[in-house]
């Protein structure tokens, strides 16, 4: 039963994704732009309330819970879907675009979900559809990364489902609202673990750089924008004020920066900085005040734009040259000037440079920490901000577009600015990064709570500029020591990679041994014993009846035809087959009866 009708933007994307492979030629490009624009328009016309309510069995499922918290995330995600689709207009494989739209639809479904059952449905749609954005790169490394990505998220989904089931058993309620984080129970912890896995909280984070670094050029733009920010929304909806998230968020912010120091691949470096930046949002949710929640939402909004811009800039280098490692690039400012400018804007935004989007969002979370006297958290987050500028604001642009030219002749000859549609997409994202930083009401008026926060005070600007300028000074002094090396950095994923190989090896060898022993006992030893038994016993007893009948028909029992011996052989083979099957069946039934009796059934 449907209580009311409501146009879900995820339905628009799902319908568009299913129709896309049927559309050919130039009409497909037009269709690719129309569908996400319609989804964005559906979000723009929404008003607060509960919509799309279905009665299913004994449950009431809500597909459309609309309020300011869900609207700010839906707004930026559908906007990013437009930008990402524009950037990927060159993609000839319609199934890659199809996977991207289903992925965004899953994210929107989570954002508007009013209960845990609907949330779980769309949560799994996100995981299943996004893995194809890794596999479509069609490299052996991408195939392996995609399988690891899928396995990790399947495990996280099972933990999340267990939390939902136990929570429903304890409360009888499936509504997705703020949980009692002051008195957390096992179901609450399980739900939190399922959410923070998608947020890439260490040690549940290694799937992110592993998969995002191997995704397709346009697929990585989508992936960097949706999974972790959807998890931030879920945490903000259900776990605001849970103090353990403050600790985890600070760890994330520092952990991502440290691993970015070691990274040689540009897209993997950006992926580690996703972990760092999402750490600010997780910490903001943990602080839980209105200013902190506003800061987490604002930073998620800004992050989707500037991180998408960074992945588009580095992706354009990969698309044009086929390279993404710093040790294989350099000196490209003459060949790709537009890509350099757009990437630099993204780097300044993520570094919280004044007049850019990161400054007006990140400073809200730090200020919320100071307001609640969490000085240790605010100072460590400020330290992480300096590391972000060092590596994303300076290292990425410098070692790709300046620095030593490590390009091969083939790479250098192929390098040039990407096609127009890619530049347009980067231009839109770059404009919004600056516009948000300059005109703060555009973003602040969308936030869940009324905000009177003012980022452009003399203290904030002076503090930010001091940190950034001293970081830049340190970079250029120690630039030679910061030169990337072609090394592989081991992370937490090493344990489950090696552990998985060890498990597979032990399982294969163990099963081979059991199979060999079973083969020897059941196929060779036991049949030989039973065959001897049935040859010497029942066959000869049967002959006492058969022999007189043969004699009446005139058959020569002891003659040259060997009738008796042929009977013995045939009888033994058929009787052995029937008897062994019967014995095996009886043994299995007895075993089942024993275990059922022991279980008390």
> Which has more confidence, 130 or 489?
130
pLDDT of residue 589: 72
pLDDT of residue 392: 87
Mean pLDDT of 207-220: 93
Tens of pLDDT, residues 345-375: 999 999 999 999 999 999 999 999 999 999 9
At residue 531, does pLDDT exceed 70? no
pLDDT category at 3 given cuts 50, 70, 90 is very low
At residue 148, does pLDDT exceed 60? yes
197 within 8 A of 480, measured Cβ to Cβ: no
Chain centre distance of CA 130 = 7
Rounded percentage of the chain residues whose pLDDT exceeds 70: 87
Which of 299, 308, 417 is CA-nearest to residue 360? 299
At residue 14, does pLDDT exceed 70? yes
pLDDT of residue 456: 93
305 within 8 A of 284, measured Cβ to Cβ: no
Mean pLDDT of 376-384: 92
Mean pLDDT of 508-514: 76
Helices in 407-492 by DSSP H: which ranges? 409-414, 420-438, 441-444, 458-477
> Which has more confidence, 54 or 227?
227
269 within 8 A of 391, measured Cβ to Cβ: yes
At residue 341, does pLDDT exceed 80? yes
Q: What is the mean pLDDT of the chain?
A: 86
pLDDT of residue 12: 96
At residue 525, does pLDDT exceed 50? yes
Mean pLDDT of 533-537: 55
Total Cβ atoms within 10 A of residue 522 = 12
pLDDT category at 503 given cuts 50, 70, 90 is confident
pLDDT category at 543 given cuts 50, 70, 90 is low
DSSP 482-523: T---S-----THHHHHHHHHHHHHHHHHHHHHHHHHHIIIII
User: What pairs with residue 53 in β-bridges?
Assistant: 62
At residue 564, does pLDDT exceed 70? no
Tens of pLDDT, residues 469-495: 998 898 888 888 777 777 777 777 777
Rounded CA separation 240/282 (Å): 9
pLDDT of residue 443: 95
At residue 403, does pLDDT exceed 90? no
pLDDT of residue 547: 57
Rounded CA separation 409/389 (Å): 31
Burial of 182 (0-12, 13-18, 19+ CB in 10 A): exposed
pLDDT of residue 583: 58
Both tokens assigned to 546: 């058969």
Q: CB under 8 Å to 263, separation ≥6 — which residues?
A: 209, 269, 272, 484, 489
At residue 600, does pLDDT exceed 70? no
At residue 519, does pLDDT exceed 80? no
Rounded CA separation 65/52 (Å): 8
Maximum mean pLDDT: which of 156-165, 262-271, 381-390: 156-165
At residue 536, does pLDDT exceed 50? yes
At residue 560, does pLDDT exceed 50? no
Both tokens assigned to 503: 């498990």
Measured over the CA atoms of residue 110, residue 116, residue 121 and residue 126, the dihedral's sign is positive
Chain centre distance of CA 422 = 25
Tens of pLDDT, residues 228-258: 999 999 999 999 999 999 999 999 999 999 8
Question: Is the link from the previous residue into 584 a cis peptide, with omega within 30 of 0?
Answer: no
Which of 351, 340, 275 is CA-nearest to residue 313? 340
> Which has more confidence, 48 or 501?
48
pLDDT of residue 369: 94
At residue 598, does pLDDT exceed 70? no
pLDDT of residue 53: 87
Residue with tokens 């003399």: 458
User: Which H or E run includes 51?
Assistant: strand 49-56
Three-state secondary structure of 157-187: HHHHHHHHHHHHHHHCCCECCCCCCCCCCHH
> Which has more confidence, 591 or 440?
440
Give the lowest-confidence range in 113-127, 285-299, 539-553.
Answer: 539-553
């Amino acid at each position: 039963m449907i209580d009311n009708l409501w146009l879900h933007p995820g339905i628009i994307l799902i319908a568009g994704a299913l129709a896309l492979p049927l559309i050919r030629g130039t009409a497909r490009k037009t269709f690719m732009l129309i569908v996400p624009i319609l989804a964005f328009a559906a979000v723009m016309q929404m008003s607060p309330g509960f919509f799309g309510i279905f009665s299913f069995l004994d449950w009431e499922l809500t597909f459309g819970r609309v309020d300011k918290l869900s609207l700010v995330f839906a707004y930026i995600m559908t906007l990013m879907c437009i930008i990402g689709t524009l950037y990927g207009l060159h993609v000839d494989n319609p199934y890659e675009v199809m996977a991207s739209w289903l992925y965004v639809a899953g994210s929107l479904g989570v954002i508007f979900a009013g209960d845990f059952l609907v949330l779980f449905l769309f949560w799994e749609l996100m995981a299943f559809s996004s893995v194809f954005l890794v596999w479509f790169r069609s490299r052996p490394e991408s195939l392996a990364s995609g399988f690891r990505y899928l396995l990790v998220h399947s495990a996280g989904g099972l933990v999340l489902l267990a939390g939902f089931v136990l929570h429903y058993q304890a409360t009888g309620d499936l509504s997705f609202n703020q949980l009692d984080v002051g008195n957390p129970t096992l179901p609450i912890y399980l739900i939190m673990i399922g959410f923070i896995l998608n947020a890439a909280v260490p040690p549940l984070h290694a799937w992110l750089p592993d998969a995002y670094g191997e995704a397709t050029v346009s697929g990585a733009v989508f992936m960097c924008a949706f999974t972790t920010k959807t998890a931030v929304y879920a945490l903000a909806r259900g776990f605001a004020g849970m103090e353990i998230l403050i600790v985890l968020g600070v760890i994330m912010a520092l952990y991502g920066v440290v691993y970015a120091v070691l990274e040689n691949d540009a897209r993997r470096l950006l992926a580690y900085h996703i972990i760092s930046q999402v750490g600010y949002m997780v910490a903001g949710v943990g602080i839980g005040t209105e200013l902190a929640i506003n800061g987490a939402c604002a930073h998620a909004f800004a992050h989707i734009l500037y991180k998408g811009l960074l992945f588009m800039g580095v992706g354009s280098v990969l698309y044009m040259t086929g390279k993404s490692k710093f040790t294989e690039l350099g000196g490209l400012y003459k060949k790709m000037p537009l890509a350099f400018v757009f990437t630099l804007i993204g780097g300044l935004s993520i570094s919280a440079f004044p007049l850019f989007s990161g400054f007006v969002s990140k400073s809200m979370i730090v200020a919320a920490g100071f307001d609640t006297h969490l000085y240790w958290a605010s100072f460590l987050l400020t330290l992480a901000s300096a590391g972000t500028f060092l590596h994303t604001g300076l290292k990425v642009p410098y070692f790709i577009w300046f620095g030593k030219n490590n390009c091969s002749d083939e790479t250098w000859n192929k390098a040039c600015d990407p096609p127009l549609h890619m530049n347009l997409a980067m231009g839109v994202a770059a404009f919004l990064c600056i516009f948000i930083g300059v005109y703060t009401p555009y973003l602040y008026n969308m936030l869940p709570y009324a905000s009177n926060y003012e980022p452009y005070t003399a203290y904030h600007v002076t503090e930010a500029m001091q940190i950034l300028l001293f970081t830049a000074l340190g970079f250029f002094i120690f630039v030679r020591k910061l030169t990337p090396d072609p090394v592989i950095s081991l992370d937490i994923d090493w344990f489950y990679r090696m552990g998985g190989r060890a498990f597979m090896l032990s399982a294969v060898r163990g099963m081979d041994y059991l199979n060999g022993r079973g083969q020897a006992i059941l196929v060779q030893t036991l049949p030989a014993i039973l065959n001897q038994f049935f040859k010497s016993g029942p066959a000869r007893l049967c002959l006492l009846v058969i022999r007189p009948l043969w004699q009446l028909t005139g058959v020569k029992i002891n003659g040259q035809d060997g009738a008796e011996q042929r009977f013995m052989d045939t009888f033994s083979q058929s009787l052995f087959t029937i008897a062994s099957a019967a014995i095996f069946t009886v043994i299995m039934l007895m075993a089942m009866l024993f275990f059922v009796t022991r279980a008390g059934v």
